[in-house]
Structure 1
């Protein structure tokens, strides 16, 4: 456990390093117009991802961390880079310093004590744990025309909020993770082996993350912190207990080799738009938005219901404030039952059309029957639903017996499994509550997310003994992936302080 003075020192050092160094470095990072590889076909030649990863490496090396080893590893298949850093445990060295100050051995006992100490050191080396700290460097595309506070690549601080593309998702993650170790070392506190990872394709589904990790030959991870989450407000320390799965795919409908005059074709040629609509009706109820396919649904258990009830007071407000409604007084929602909305978003499937090819914009729309239509389908899945049966069901239901005999294909692009957090052991639970009480004035809150984080399920498979803490400084109005994205700096500092104390407590000798 940490003393009150130690907690205050954590807060002081965290604030100091952010104000003196980290915020300016984050700004410099945001100015790099990097995108995730899926959205940047030229990422291999424009050097933007490499520049961002190298900047992260330089930041770590300039912090002066003891026991730091860094290297950049590239996926053999795609050449996407990953920054890996090992910060070796200082636990034995810190204990030696304490013992040296506490006692001096008589000369006649030194020989036996030396042998005993060697055995004890060997035993303690085996007790050193391995902690993984994760964040990602890639970002989503941006439309500067929608930004009103600043240009997305020109970060500014306004009202204690740092604006810019990637501020909330997830530029701050590397800085928060590294500051945790920096503060512990500055305070002379012990920490376990830290394995720090900065990924470059999370927004593209982390397709190659684990093939890269396999080349690193990491030891078994005991505890992992994923700094890429948040909660419905900045007044609590939020820990995510589940995320939904995701399948992105393209539905293609072809009826002609090329477009024809609509006067000649209508009444004879079926519209690919109407065919697409009929196909989508097979998987989604067009009136309610409910997903019809049983493979995409799951039972809601008692634990899920309890968690929703506990957090509904926080979520009721954010449902109304989270989104930029046309009329804030009359939100356009699928239901006015807020419990149902939360249930849908946390544990239900959902379909959204996120892209379209085959329809011109309005200025170029002429009287032509369209030859083909492609729709990008983004489907969120309940945390416990398995991916492969869903892919099989979607492909079968969308492609079988196509209306009018049209050429129809469904091609999955990105698929990631959802994730349920296993119950924390007592040490983690207690450490998280103590840290949250200090830096937020209340015990930490558990919450599910309707979003997806591809690495979580695979991380739990690769390191089945690890406990995973997904947290972060995102809030609903932080607008990740959207215009005017920002990070609230006080919230970020408090989250960083919480994780510092948690890792510090877990690293103490049992």
Structure 2
């Protein structure tokens, strides 16, 4: 395959096609179903589905078929099937499939966007394309097609490819397994999965994700009275719902240290992952992010290697939402009727999310303090993932591609986020190889304000995907 030709083809596609399409996509407020219960009526997810699938259909990719798979009550799935191409393994000689994965649903707007920026306002500033969803993960569909197109245009080869773009990932992918079941035999024997929904620690080379944390989400609610009462009359006698919620949280987290007290949410860290974190900390000279800490705030781990393990292999509890609390400016002296807290419990890659969820619900709901009315609802869980060793051909291909496209060796790191699809497919195809990577690097701020896509990095990463597709097709078969 003509490596320079691949770079030229991809650069032109990004400049002339992908950037304008991503700007259109960013402008669509395609909130994930967890944040837009009426998503079907709202129509924003459908608008994104139509835009992305129409662009894919317009591309000159040989042997490609595009469809939108629809299931009752579920978000749609874009399915792109591309027949084997080139001088690699002939069709039928090797039945394995390369799955390329992405999603187009988005997180909510959030506050704190800089002047001139906004979640649905695409703004290009040098290498940065600001706006919600460009980096997480709207670019994936476009980059995947551009890589396949470049392979075909530059004398390369690829095996059977199946591109899957879902629309419920930011809600924990509740619809995806139903779609995989509906695909049935069309999935084929998945030999390689390419996922572009992860991150990178720097923008100067390709980073391969070696692990992902799992996740348990739940809403804890404590009700004490039917309506608000003057605090001068009720406080001191009627218990505060916030205090009772705090007592319950102390059952699952040590508030002094942040240690998670849910036994099933803890797991031993494999020695090779400890060594990996140490090497990454030395390479980065720290943890890779300063997080914009306010004042003299101290991190929960002083040693950089331990800090990396804390956000990739240790559980952590966050309260990510609340109800029942009025804004400070309009809060009166009232004992509130209830407190509801949305909990996000990140899990080690090897922990069972179902076991952790069951234990968490039990700890929060049993023996309520002062016999308060306590509920734990909206429980969602997703397993993490710990990568198996790379096959020699893939390790060599990845490193060669990183050297070719970035001039730097490939690097490995664990990621603190969750991608439910990886664990799903890993369970279905335990022998498959995984290339999990992405563009969520320093300051890119996925899920938060001022999210941006690093365009130059994404373009080079697209070249790496083309290299991997060609290497997979031409690798030695036993």
Deviation of 1:316 after TM superposition, in Å, equals 4.3
Cα pair distance change 1:145/1:391, threshold 3 Å: closer
Which among 116, 123, 126 is matched to residue 159 of structure 1? Answer: 126
Q: How does 1:288-327 map to 2 (within 5 A)?
A: 288-321=257-290, 323-327=291-295
Aligned residues: CA RMSD: 1.7
> Do the aligned partners of 2:95 and 2:189 also contact (CA within 8 Å) in 1?
no
SS of 1:71 mapped into structure 2: strand
Which among 375, 378, 391 is matched to residue 409 of structure 1? Answer: 375
Q: How does 1:336-485 map to 2 (within 5 A)?
A: 336-485=302-451
Which among 39, 46, 61 is matched to residue 43 of structure 1? Answer: 39
Which among 4, 17, 20 is matched to residue 13 of structure 2? Answer: 17
Deviation of 1:296 after TM superposition, in Å, equals 1.1
How far apart, in 1, do the equivalents of 2:288 and 2:471 lie? Answer: 36
How far apart, in 1, do the equivalents of 2:272 and 2:111 lie? Answer: 42
> Do the aligned partners of 1:391 and 1:412 also contact (CA within 8 Å) in 2?
no
Cα pair distance change 1:459/1:16, threshold 3 Å: same
Q: Give the TM-score, by structure 2 length.
A: 0.96
Aligned to 1:109: none
How far apart, in 2, do the equivalents of 1:315 and 1:353 lie? Answer: 29
Deviation of 1:319 after TM superposition, in Å, equals 4.7
How far apart, in 2, do the equivalents of 1:331 and 1:172 lie? Answer: 35
Aligned to 2:98: 131
Which among 160, 169, 175 is matched to residue 208 of structure 1? Answer: 175
Point out where structure 1 has 5 or more consecutive residues left out of the alignment: 96-119
Which among 49, 55, 60 is matched to residue 51 of structure 2? Answer: 55
> Do the aligned partners of 1:133 and 1:224 also contact (CA within 8 Å) in 2?
yes
How far apart, in 1, do the equivalents of 2:130 and 2:136 lie? Answer: 12
How far apart, in 1, do the equivalents of 2:395 and 2:236 lie? Answer: 66
How far apart, in 1, do the equivalents of 2:7 and 2:461 lie? Answer: 10
Check if 1:71 corresponds to 2:70: no
How far apart, in 1, do the equivalents of 2:319 and 2:104 lie? Answer: 26
How far apart, in 1, do the equivalents of 2:228 and 2:446 lie? Answer: 38
Deviation of 1:252 after TM superposition, in Å, equals 0.9
Q: Give the TM-score, by structure 1 length.
A: 0.90
> Do the aligned partners of 1:318 and 1:476 also contact (CA within 8 Å) in 2?
no
How far apart, in 1, do the equivalents of 2:270 and 2:475 lie? Answer: 38
Cα pair distance change 1:305/1:13, threshold 3 Å: same
* Residues 31-69 of structure 1: CA deviation (Å, up to 9, x unaligned): 111111110122111211111111111111111111111
SS of 1:473 mapped into structure 2: coil
How far apart, in 2, do the equivalents of 1:482 and 1:38 lie? Answer: 16
Structure 1 runs (4+) greater than 6 angstroms displaced: none
Instruction: Flag the structure with larger Rg.
Output: 1
Cα pair distance change 1:320/1:13, threshold 3 Å: closer
* Residues 50-100 of structure 1: CA deviation (Å, up to 9, x unaligned): 111111111111111111111101232x23111001011124xx57xxxxx
Aligned to 1:101: none
Deviation of 1:143 after TM superposition, in Å, equals 3.3
SS of 1:51 mapped into structure 2: helix
Query: Which has the larger share of helix?
Result: 1
Aligned to 1:34: 30
Aligned to 1:105: none
Cα pair distance change 1:318/1:309, threshold 3 Å: closer
Deviation of 1:508 after TM superposition, in Å, equals 1.6
Which among 78, 82, 87 is matched to residue 77 of structure 2? Answer: 82
Point out where structure 2 has 5 or more consecutive residues left out of the alignment: none
Aligned to 2:472: 506
Deviation of 1:146 after TM superposition, in Å, equals 2.6
How far apart, in 1, do the equivalents of 2:325 and 2:372 lie? Answer: 18
Deviation of 1:393 after TM superposition, in Å, equals 1.0
Aligned to 1:104: none
Check if 1:268 corresponds to 2:237: yes
> Do the aligned partners of 1:89 and 1:194 also contact (CA within 8 Å) in 2?
yes
Check if 1:251 corresponds to 2:220: yes
How far apart, in 1, do the equivalents of 2:76 and 2:111 lie? Answer: 27
SS of 2:190 mapped into structure 1: coil
How far apart, in 1, do the equivalents of 2:96 and 2:317 lie? Answer: 42
Cα pair distance change 1:227/1:206, threshold 3 Å: same
Q: How does 1:144-223 map to 2 (within 5 A)?
A: 146-217=113-184, 218-223=187-192
Aligned residues between the structures: 474
How far apart, in 2, do the equivalents of 1:435 and 1:59 lie? Answer: 27
> Do the aligned partners of 2:213 and 2:385 also contact (CA within 8 Å) in 1?
yes
Cα pair distance change 1:413/1:303, threshold 3 Å: same
